[in-house]
Every structure is written in C-alpha cells, then in structure tokens.
Structure 1
Amino acid sequence: MALQSMLAACCMTTLKLAAGLISGSLGVLSDAAHSGLDLVGSGITFFSVRVSDKPADEDHTYGHGKVENLSAFFEAGLMAISCAWIIWEAIQRIRHNSFELRYSAWPVLVLLSSIAVDFWRSRELRSVAEQTGSPALATDAFHFASDIWASLAVLAGLLATWAGTALHIDWLRYADPIAAIFVSLMIIRITTQLTREAVGVLMDQIPAETRMRVIREAEQVPGVLAVEQARVRRSGPNYFADLTLALPRSYTFEHTGELVRAATEAVHRAIPTADVVIHTVPRQARAESIFDRVRAVAARNNVAVHDLSVQSHHGKLHVELHVELDENLPLIEAHNFVSGLEAEILRETPEIDSVLTHIESEPATIEQPEEMVEENRRIEKALRDAAAHYEEIADVHQILVGRTGEHITLSCHCTLPDDLSMRQVHEVITALEDRFKLDCPEVHRVTIHPEPVTDNTR
C-alpha cells in the first residue's frame, strides 16, 4: 500500500507542477510543492514500514517499530517547511501585486483528479493503518485527507481569481494567494498535532489511562497484593508492558507461575497485542498468621520445618519447631545455623517471646530397605491389633516395613470417618502410634497417612 501511495504521489506532483506553470497559479504551484513533499513522505513511509517489520535482533531488542514514529516526525517537518514557503510567497504576491493568472482548463482537471486520488489513497491507507496499527501509515492517511481540503481551497481560489479578473472585481484577484495561505495554516495546525504525537511516542509517552487500565486489570487477579511498578511503552504498532507484582511470600514457585500467567492474560485484556514481562516480589500478606511468618523465615533459609507449635505461657508466646538439616553437617555448624534462624524468627514476629528448635537430620543418601518376611508379619500384626482398640479406625492398609542399617521403619494408610476433624485425626493417629510402639519398641520411625472412608471405598 505504501508503494502504491508513493507512485500516486509521483504522478500527481508532475501533473500539478505542469498545471501550475501553465496557469501561473501560486495555489496550484503550492499544491504541487505539497504533493512533491507527499512523494518524499510516501518514500519515507515505504522505507520505514519495511524496516519496522524486521524482527528484533541483538542491537534492537524491542524491534524496529520506532522507525515509523521517526518517519512520521520527519514527514511532519517537511510539511511545515512547505507551508512556511507557501505563506511567504503568497504574502509577497499580495504586497507587490506581481502575479497574473492565465486561463486554462488543465489546472481544474488536475485538481479534480488530485481530489479523487487523495480520497482513494486516504481511505485505503486508513484501512491498512487500522488493521496493522502503523503510525506511519496513519500519518500518511491523515496527510492525504488534508490534501483533499487543500486542493478544494486551491480550486476555489483559482476560480475566484479568474472570476474577479473577468468581472473586474479587484479584491477577488487575491483569492488565489489567500487560498494558499489558508491551506498552509490548516496544514500547519495538523502538522503540529502530528509532531506532538510522534515526539510523544519517541519519548515513550503513552496515555495515562492506558497505564491505569493495565494496573487495574492486574490488581484484579486473585492473589496479587499490589502492582508495585508498571511501565508501558510503544514502538511502532507494538506495545511493551513491564510489571512488578507483589505476591504472598508463602506461595510456591508453581503457584506463582500460574498467577503470572493469569496476570499476563489480564494485561492482554487491556492491551491485546502487548509483549508482557512480569517480575514478582515476595511480600507479607495482611492476614498472615504466626505460623505463616515462621514458615516464611524457614523457606527464606531453604530448610524444611515440621511439628510447628505455638504455646502461651503466662501471657508470653513460645514457639517450638523441628528443623531438618543435612545429616553430614557438623554440630557446631548446625547449631550456628539454627541460632541464626531463631534470631530471624524473633525479628520477623516480635510478639513471640522465645523459640525452641529441635534439630533433625535429613538423610543425604537414598534408603535401601532390606525385607525380613517373618519379622515384618509380626510388626504388621502388632499394628493391626493396636488399631483394633480405636473405634474411629475403619482399617489400616498398604503397610510397608523397611530397614535402613539398624533402623526399622513403618508406613501405612489409615481409614477414618469423613467428618472427623483434623484435631481428632491427629489425636487418634498419635494414640495409635504410641500403643503400637509399646508392643514394637524396635521400630524407629512410624509414618501414618490418614484418608477418609469415602475415598477408600471408591
């Protein structure tokens, strides 16, 4: 489309120049100069559209889209220069009365043809610009639309001047240069707006409402605490959005990834074609409990904790927790690490008065159990006998007895009523474990997985 526009501008410039020289009309000559600049502008647009379509590379990581905005800025400058020359020449003709128009049908035919061609070019370019979002093509379409009014004004001035000469009305003889001045002032006004828009894009200026719309959409994503930073820029028809979101620090990496995808979709609702980059920062949620804050400290130090409890003694809160550390870590290093962890917990939760940490070893090697059939059967029977003492327990199954070195371990699934609370579940499982260990004290570790009756009967 840009190439067709350039060829049309070349044709019309030649015809207007010939008609202006034949008639001696400043209006027609100024329109020819205007069309000549259209030719230059169309060439720039053709070049810039081709360059802006190139993908991003190592030197232009945001692509080449701003070439179009630079082209629009340059084209607007050419329009302003042409208007200044036309106004100066028109004033000189009016001051010195140094012009004489020659009657000819050619200028009229050329101007009418120019109006028809400009109407076609403006409509086609506007359609393509709306489809592609190209600012250079949009500027060209706006430019050719203004040319229609310019050509109409020049035609009216030319006809009025001829009428004034034929009817001996002196003031009508100035209609041609006055029309040229009017057209130039109109184009300068349009050029000023185009220049302001081009400079704004080159300076990464976007409408404030666009940025606020992006922020509002991102803030509505469940889980986002706040949008701490939002930057939006435009390069040609493309938008780039860079956001920093505050998320609860308790979220896992996978949960954070899902939320980032949801936030990206939210930004696309505001700017459908935007290239979105989202950074996340962990923040303390307003509804965080003491347990959440203690676990956050542990996660920040990359250690696993369990059996976390908080007790109140004489109005003061006391925290106990188990921390798993590498089994090969020396005691002095483990103690220093835990001491630092406790100090950080106290800073994070000032309402806590004291912290007691139980250090457990986290196996660094894969356990290789050795099965002993008869002994395993005895241990399994002891577990089932112990479970029979509790009416809440429907059954125990998937019992697995293993050995690692000198240690015996046992794991099983325990079926309980659906509506039993977690507190009651914990009490029953603890009682079962205690009773079982009375009969089998040699078992080093017992792991019981509770599950509801409904799930077990599927």
Structure 2
Amino acid sequence: MTPTDAHQSKQRVALASIGASAALTLAKLVAGVLSGSLALLSEAGHNLVDTGITIVTFFAVRVAGKPADAEHPYGHGKVESVAALIETGFLFALSTYILAEAIQRLTVKPVEIHANALAVGVLVVSILVDLSRWFTLSRVAKATKSDALAADVLHFSSDIIGSALALAGLVAASLGYPQGDAVAALAVAMFIAVVGYRLGRRTFDTLIDTAPKGLTEDVRAIAERIPGVNAVDQLRLRPAGADVIGDINISVPRTLPLEKVAMIKEAVRTAVAAVHPEVALTVTTQPIALDDESVRECLLLIGARRHRTIHNIIVQEVDGRMSVGFDIEIDGQMRLGQAHEIASMIEADARTELGPDIEVDSHIEPLEPRELPGQDAPVATRNAIAAALSEFASAPIVDVHSVRVRETPAGLVVNYHCRADPDLSVDKVHLAVDELERKVTAGFPAILRIIGHAEPLRRAVIRRHG
C-alpha cells in the first residue's frame, strides 16, 4: 500500500466510524433513559466519548498524512499519538464517573430497571455494528500502522465487551436481580480503565520516542552482517506515526575508497528496508584503523589525504627502530621549496600515525602532468625498435608483441606487450622488464619513455620455450 493509499484509507474508515458512533450513542442514550440501566447509560457515555474522539481521530489522520516541512522535518505522524493520548484521558474520566455512580446505586440509591425490548435490541445491534467496525479498523490500522486507528480498535473491542456486559446486566435485572445492572456497570468501568491504561502506555511510549521492542537489536544485527561494517557504534530509533526514523553510525576501515564506503552505506539501508520497510535510516560512517592495517596501507592513505601518490615504499627494522622510505610524485615544474614543504607534511603525518620515534625519509619524484601531442612514428623507426626489443628480450621475458611507437615533441613513446611465466613473482618480472628497457633505450637516445605490459604466458608456450 502506497503512502497516499494508506492515508486515504485511514480517512475513509475514520469518517465512517464517526457516523456509526453518533448513531449508536443516540440509540443507547434513548434506550438507557427509558430502561434506567446504568450499564446501558454508561455505554451511551462511552459511545459519546468515542464519537468525539473519532472526530479528533479523523482530523488527526488528515494532519498526520501531510509531508514533512521546514517546521516538522520528521513529518506529522505524532499528531495521531496526541489524538490517542486525548482519547486515553477521556476514557479514564468516563470510567471514574461510571465507577462512582455504580457504587452509589449499589449502596445508596437503588434504581428500578426496565429490561425492555428496545434496550435489548439496541445492545444487540451495537454489538454487531462494533464487530463490523472492529474488523474493518483492525485491518486498516495494521496495514497503515496508524496509532489513532489502533486506538479506535481498542475502543471498539471495549465497546463490544461493554455492550455484552450491559446486556448481561439487563438480563439479570429481568430475572429479578436489579443489582446486576450496577455490577455490570462496575465491570464496564473497570474494563474501560484497563483499555485506557494499555492505550495510554503505548501512546506515551511513542511520544517519548521509545523504540519498538526488539527493533533496535534487529536493525543492529542486520547492519553488522553487511560486509565492510566493522562495528555499529551508535543506533537511535524513534517512532513517527506509522514510520520509524533513526540514524546509525558504523565503523569502516579507513583505507577504503569513498566509492566503497558509499556502497556499504547503501547496502545497510537496503538490507534494513528489506526486513523493516517502515524504518528510514540515516547512515554515517566512522573510519578506523584496523589492527591488521599494514605500514604500506597507512602510508598510501596518508598520501591520498594529501592528494599525492606514494610508491616504492621500503620498510626496515634497524636496531629495534622502524625505518620507512618512499617516493612522492610531485609536479616537476613546482619549486623545490614548495615541494619540500609538501614532503615534510607527509613525513610528519607518517610520524603521527606510526609513532614519533620512526625514521622517515622521502624522495621527491617529478610527475610530468603535461599531455603530449603525438603521432605514429615512421614504420622504419617502429620496426627497428621492435627488432631491438625482441633481440634483447631474455628469460623470463618472451614473445614481445603489439609494439607501438609514437613521436612527441619531448621524444619517442614506446608501448609493447610481452609474456612471462604466470608463476613468477611480480618483482622478478619487473626487474626483467626494466633490464630490457634499459638495453633498448641505450641504443635509441630519442626514446622518452618505454611502457612494457607483461602478460601471463600460456602453458603450451611455456612447454615450447622450456
């Protein structure tokens, strides 16, 4: 059921309930006066209260259906709870009056009861009408999670029992036990008080933002099962009419990229909504350093915070003291004083994260940010470089292919692919590729940069070369 459909449904049943309550109140009042039955008059008073409160309920559900605005950022859902609280007060006042009147009839002024057909008929019709209203409202209140309609459901159930008790009192009076009507009125008063207590307790919990029982634990468990969530640091939930609004703060590894953190937050919202669609969560994250975070991950994170690329990280243990070294890529056109200031800030960050006694050394490496215009080199140049790459390639590098050579104002840029045993380490392959590139560059001084891409060698080729 969409929010619009739910709102319209609540208004329809509330409006229908007003007409039914008004008609029953009038019928019970007339029958109560004619019969002299306190139990029946009590029910008339009960219905009169219900009629007034049902009107309040009708306007409450209309207001509660309004969207959130600047003055009510969480919506207007609690208007229904206020209506339910008003109804609770009326119920207690009514039960107190009925109780006092019943005790007086039992002890001071007995009243003659006329159990006529009108009184009995009104009570029987009332029971049938209330049963119908109870069934309809129960279904709508459950579907829309309306506090105000749920309050009406409780009242109609009390109406049914109250009417049944009043009918029993009339039957007792007709059988020669006139005090049976006052006893029935006492029972009606007690029942109304119990219903009022239950309604008041639930409404009070809603108004003081008491989370639905068990919901906090359930939402926490769902969030903790999401991959990437290290812990749930804080979770707050509060009812707002048919909805529950809350915020949750989760801990995530600080080394995660922002895109991954956003995906984790969305996964938490989606998982909770799948089980509890009435819950609207605001998810915030707290980045933390995990116990298994490596020195390398820490340094890469420091570089990312400063918007700098760090590589060639070396970590050593010298006489019980940690020593780290790394390269920082900085614009080659930047002045040395400015570049050194950036490197010093990164080194200071490293000492803050890893400890003040750590030895930190950084190497400033120029980063060429320019985009170089280029074009394919002459075929003869390309063929000569390709031949040199194939000639100087030695184990573990084999099968040099896809050689491309481009001319730029700064020199030649060479791209090529080669293959190596897939079981070799990256270190060994990288050293072999660097050695190949040094040999080729020595024979072609015009080369600015060689970019070699190593691919895993297919098993059949490995056997052939072996």
Normalising to structure 2: TM-score of the pair?
A: 0.89
SS of residue matched to 1:102: coil
Q: Following the alignment from structure 1 to structure 2, what is the Cα–Cα distance between the partners of residues 251 and 245?
A: 14
Comparing 356-365 and 122-131, the one that deviates more = 356-365
Which of 200, 205, 218 aligns to 1:200? It is 205
SS in 2 for 1:394: strand
Higher mean alpha-carbon deviation, 124-133 vs 393-402, is at 393-402
- Aligned letter for 1:412? Y
**Which residue in the other structure is 1:445 paired with?**
449
Q: What residue number does 2:10 align with?
A: none
Contact 2:397–2:418 (CA under 8 A) maintained in structure 1: no
Q: Provide the residue aligned with 2:331 in structure 1.
A: 326
**For the structure 1 residues 269 and 153, does the alpha-carbon distance in structure 2 shift closer, same or farther, using more than 3 Å as the test?**
same
Whole-angstrom distance in 1 between the partners of 2:332 and 2:430: 28
Partners in 2 of 1:82 and 1:281 — Cα distance?
Answer: 53
Bigger Cα displacement from structure 2, 337-346 vs 173-182: 173-182
Q: One-letter code of the match for 1:413?
A: H
Which residue of structure 2 aligns with residue 271 of structure 1? 276
Q: Report what 2:298 is aligned to.
A: 293
In structure 2, distance between residues paired with 1:147 and 1:222: 52
Partner SS, residue 175 of structure 2:
helix
> Does residue 423 of structure 2 align to residue 415 of structure 1?
no
CA distance, structure 2, for counterparts of residue 208 and residue 18 of structure 1: 44
Deviations, residues 77-110 of structure 1 (Å, cap 9, x unaligned):
1111111121122223333215232342111110
For the aligned residue pairs, the C-alpha RMSD in angstroms reads 2.4
Task: Tell me whether 190-199 or 342-351 shows the greater mean CA deviation.
Answer: 342-351
2:341 is matched with which residue? 336
> 2:392: which partner in 1?
386
Shift of 1:364: 4.3
TM, length-normalised to structure 1 = 0.91
The alpha-carbon deviation at position 408 of structure 1 amounts to: 4.1
How far apart, CA to CA, are the structure 1 residues paired with 2:363 and 2:205? Answer: 62
In the TM superposition, 1:360-439 aligns within 5 A as 360-369=365-374, 372-373=377-378, 375-387=381-393, 389-403=394-408, 405-439=409-443
How far is the alpha carbon of 1:448 from its aligned partner?
2.2
- Give the letter aligned to residue 411 of structure 1: N
- Range with greater deviation from structure 2 (330-339 or 366-375): 366-375
SS at match of 2:334: coil
Using the aligned pairs only, state the percent identity.
33
Contact 1:319 1:352 in 2 (8 A): no
State the alpha-carbon separation in 1 of the partners of residues 140 and 405 from structure 2: 70
- 2:107 and 2:16 map into 1 onto residues whose CA distance is 41
Contact map agreement 2:331 2:367 (CA 8 A) in 1: yes
Counterpart residue number, 2:237 = 232
Name 1:58's counterpart in structure 2: 70
Instruction: Give the C-alpha shift of residue 133 in structure 1.
Output: 1.6
Cα contact 1:399–1:413 (8 A) shared by 2: no
Deviation at 1:346, TM superposition (A): 1.9
The separation in 1 between residues aligned to 2:254 and 2:370, in whole angstroms, is 30
Q: 1:318 and 1:441, CA in 2 relative to 1: closer, same or farther beyond 3 A? A: farther
Letter in 1 for 2:223: A
What is the CA distance between 1:314 and its match in structure 2?
4.7
Q: 1:268 to 1:376 in 2, by over 3 A?
A: same
CA distance in 2, matches of 1:103, 1:317: 99
Tell me the residue number matched to 1:245. 250
1:11 lines up with 2:23 in the alignment: yes
User: In the alignment, does 2:133 pair up with 1:121?
Assistant: yes
- How many pairs align? 448
- Residue 322 of structure 1 aligns with an amino acid whose one-letter code is D
TM-aligned CA distance change 1:402 to 1:358, over 3 Å? farther
Aligned partners of 1:316 and 1:394: how far apart in 2?
45
Deviation at 1:425, TM superposition (A): 2.1
**Cα shift at 1:338:** 0.9
Partner of 1:168: none
